[in-house]
Amino acid sequence: MALSRTSPSVGPQSPDVTGFYDRPTGSIQYLVSDPQTRKAAIIDAVMGFDPASTAADSSGVEHILRYAETERLEIEWILDTHPHADHLMASHWLKQRLGKPNAIGAKVKEIAALWRGLYNMPDAFDPEADFNHLLEDGDTFQIGTLPVRVMLSPGHTLGSITYVVGGDAAFVHDTFMQPDACTSRADFPGGSADMLYDSLQDILALPDPTRLFVGHDYGTADRGIPTWESTVQEQRRHNVHIGGGVPRNAYIEKRTARDKTLNEPDRMLHVLQMNLRAGQLPQAEDDGERYLKIPLNKF
């Protein structure tokens, strides 16, 4: 059974948030909704993808759609925080299924340019064609009556964004992890521990009670099961990487040392060439089959 958990609204301008856990990648997908209008958005939805067989499936995201239907929620937006390196994005699949707009940060254009070079695919990736909205820092829109503000939060990637929804919820993706787990890695192409430190500080400047919803969790030896909600106050006080006012240089040293111990995600080179197209599979070739291009010995 899929692991999911709802963080209920606490009053006006406070969304309901349900997180759906993707066990193979440790990713959390979110359904955020306005209790007043029943309008909703899906954030960072995951398509199933097996790197061994390169087979994709939509069972996980279909579970979210069934939940939304049961709760009588109307999905207005398909949102992503960045082009993910560890899972296949469901943005394109949802856009085709629902006929609703999809969005991501505007700096995805710079990320696409970077990966064109790494894949040696000079004509690949056109984010303006594959996403309806490329969101800039400070942009705003609505989910029902709930205002949404976009914060540029680079570091994990050069174009990651945070969605601040209503008055008390922020979707902080691969910046923070849970307080007992640390912060997210910053060693992917275009990433920077220095930029990530600034992004973390910007998030910590939100009001103390703001609920923070992270992009990943893998459990810990102490608590076992995955969790994905904390508050600004909890992160500021207790995050094992940055809590208690760790200075910039100390954080960068700790983050960089940790990153040197990490392997690349096993899906990264497969999924990024699709995620830079909103998760679209490659076009079929003249034999009817689809193919990925995987650079060898590059990383």
DSSP calls for 13-27? T--EEEEEEETTTTE
> What are the domain boundaries of the chain?
4-275
Quote the crossing angle between the two packed helices 91-98 and 59-70, to the nearest 10°. 50
For residue 1, pLDDT beyond 80? no
Q: What is the tens place of the pLDDT at every residue in 149-172?
A: 999 999 999 999 999 999 999 999
Quick one: pLDDT band at residue 233, thresholds 50, 70, 90? Answer: very high
pLDDT digits (tens, 9 = 90+) for 37-79: 999 999 999 999 999 999 999 999 999 999 999 999 999 999 9
Angle between helices 248-259 and 193-204 (to 10 degrees): 120
Q: What is the pLDDT of residues 70-100, one digit of tens each?
A: 999 999 999 999 999 999 999 999 999 999 9
Average pLDDT for 210-228: 93
Burial readout 181-214 (b: 16 or more C-beta within 10 A, e: otherwise): bbbbbbebebbbbbbbbebbeebbebeeebbbbb
Q: What percent of the chain has pLDDT over 70?
A: 100
- The helix/strand/coil state of 8 is coil
Contacts of 208 (CB under 8 A, 6+ apart): 231, 232, 233, 236
Q: Residue 2: pLDDT above 80?
A: no
44: helix, strand or coil:
coil
**Cα angle 263-267-268, degrees, rounded to a multiple of 5:** 70
Return the closest-CA partner of residue 31 out of 58, 62, 1: 62
Predicted confidence at residue 224, as pLDDT, reads 83
Give mean pLDDT, residues 117-129.
96
Q: Write out the CATH class of domain 4-275.
A: alpha beta
Phi, psi of 24, rounded to the nearest 5 degrees? -60, -30
Q: How far apart are CA 27 and CA 174, in angstroms?
A: 10
Burial 22-37 (b: 16+ CB within 10 A, else e): beebbbbbbbbbbbee
Spatial separation of the C-alpha atoms in residues 60 and 183, rounded to whole Å: 26
pTM of the model: 0.96
